Amino acid sequence: MSILVTGAGGQLGRELAQRLPAAEAVCLPRAALDLADASIVRATLARLRPQVVINAAAYTAVDRAETERDLAFAANAEAPGVLARACAEAGAALLHVSTDYVFNGQSPHPWREDDPTGPINVYGASKLAGEQAIRSALPRHIIVRTAWVFGAHGANFVRTVLRLARERGALRIVADQTGSPTWAGHLAETLIHLARRIASGETLAWEIYHYAGAPASSWHAFAEAIVREAHAQGLLPAAVPVEPIASAAYPTPARRPAWSVLDGTRMAETFGLAPPDWRIGLAQTLAACKAETP
């Protein structure tokens, strides 16, 4: 066993577990490995002795985080610090997933890794604190910032739009927030690729990298694509209209960045992993949803 996956019961964790053979990896859900308990984390890593840990565990309820700040910081800031220190003791490298929401959304270009951070909501602040905790505790780490993750499992935008399109005759979706939709399957494959290179003994550049889907899209355009593809696959009897609205017309507890597009140049030049086409992942996600439909 060379790879340990934490948070294996979540959206990304399930994609990782599906792709990793048991002989190569141990995939532990939160119930089997609570990252809040430092003694359990240290004991688990000492027992399993992984070469690489992929941390797919996170608190991702962006709006709820505004009133659950302590929970968000415990999961997204304190737990990664605990895990990083345990990795340092065990001699393991750490692959950690972070977010586009560490930025403030005001940029003339796609966000690069060395651009100044400035989160505008609690979720983003907690994820940035997690990055900082890892960087201060463990030299051998890679932080992968991603965005707008979706897949066939868990709560995400694709599944929400599909449900609402079945329930309503039309949708009203925010059109003035632009980002990088990312299929959890593509993200999982990239993390596994990096983990295997580390486990093979290759010395990598321990850095922050951006990896997210392309092309850039607004939530509205993303929703339109979901409805079109769902109709094409027979998941919807008709392609319901999707009306563009301003963020002000759909207030939420947490502010969202208006511009959340990530620049994937560093990842592409360093590892040959270019931004993937999220539309391919969307088709696969909806095919999986169709397969689950009775």
The residue behind tokens 């321990």 is: 206
Residue 81 has a CB neighbour count (10 Å cut-off) of: 20
The secondary structure of the chain in percent helix, strand, coil, rounded to multiples of 5, reads 45, 15, 40
Q: Is residue 290 within 8 Å of 229, Cβ to Cβ?
A: no
DSSP E strands, 120-232: 141-146, 149-150, 171-174, 178-179, 182-183, 208-210, 217-218
Q: Is residue 145 within 8 Å of 176, Cβ to Cβ?
A: no
Residue 248, SS3 per DSSP: helix
Considering the candidates 123, 209, 211, 250, report the single residue annotated as catalytic: 123
Q: Is residue 73 within 8 Å of 126, Cβ to Cβ?
A: yes
Q: Is residue 214 within 8 Å of 264, Cβ to Cβ?
A: yes
123 is an active site residue: yes
Inter-axis angle of helices 79-90 and 38-48, to 10 degrees? 30
Q: Is residue 149 within 8 Å of 187, Cβ to Cβ?
A: yes
What is the phi/psi pair of residue 224, to 5°? -60, -40
Query: Which residues are designated catalytic?
Result: 123
